[in-house]
Structure 1
Amino acid sequence: MSKTFYELQQQRRSIYAIGKNVTLDKSVITDVIQKAVREAPSSFNSQSSRAVILFGDAHHKVWDMALDALRPIVPAEAFAVTEKKINGSFKTGFGTVLFFEDQDVVKGLQEKFPLYADNFPIWSEQASGIAQYAVWLALTEQGIGATLQHYNPLIDSDIIKEWGIPATWKLRAQMPFGSIEAVAAEKAYMNDADRFKVFGV
């Protein structure tokens, strides 16, 4: 029985204990991710979101890049914790999705609609967030765990060079994913009265 949207929302969590025990074919996972990004809404139907999907050695490489970028700036006495987190929670996964926003699209809209020029970078960020959430839910529906990470801009130049990414694509987030090896802890919710206001009922 398929889950409702609300049930998927409840099931979607930050899963840090991810592994490579994924039974879905890479082509199926790729299709799931592509469809989720394709159908994610964006202002003016700009379709500014871009995604790079990494498997195998490419997936491992991006987390090696993160470690290499962090090594010079993280205090030596704290680096072991950082290394354990990246190697034990991200690199252990089955793959990684890199989320970008195409700045050529943003600039083009700013030129075409100057009245809204200041808003297009904001709307681009919103589009990216929606695309990320859509992919996260889509992976959740397939029984795949994930987290959302932000090692940009530390790894931007390495990624652009390694995979020939257009320089106009701005890296916004990284989503390592894989089999769920341990469930997440219970999620706490703030009081609805502090979060919502409803009028005209």
Structure 2
Amino acid sequence: MTMDQRLTRRGLLGLIGAGAALAAAPGLAAPATLRGKGDYRAIHLFSSRLGESVNTVYWIDGEYIPEALDEISHLLRDWRQDLVKPIDPRVIDILAEAHRKLDAAEPFEVVSGYRSPQTNAMLRRRSSGVARNSYHIKAMAADVTMRSRSVEQMYRAGLSCHGGGVGRYSRSGFVHMDCGPVRSWGR
């Protein structure tokens, strides 16, 4: 389909609406092509361990943006092994919605994203809190924290999404969110 075929009056209005929304969000990376009605989802993540951040629109008008998903997956990589696995977009949706509910300007700081089986096994040897068949191995989970919000606030925001598992790790200062079955745990 050529650009002329896709650019209808409605599509043009969507481009203008999405452009206005993006302009209102300073520092937000815009995807190569904005399409549709302007309905979009964005996420802002930071990894202090890697010194990297992602602040991007990853979904527009019902479609995920492959380049944005690649950028998010790269940030959520197994940094110990430097391995990237595509992150399940549902976990990104849960993180984005939980962040929206927290109404915070600060990004989620990533504690852990994808973990290779080797990394997960190493962490299991160090801690009883690491699951053998962790959703991290499946690239379906992320552990996050924020300085401006408590573990309890992040946990409640994650629970309110009703999108998967939410674990509260108060002593370690982070919340686990995954797109597996809806369940919760932790203190």
TM-score scaled by length of structure 1: 0.34
Task: From the two aligned structures, give the one with the greater helix fraction.
Answer: 1
- Rg bigger for which structure? 1
Q: Which one has a larger percent strand, Structure 1 or Structure 2?
A: 2
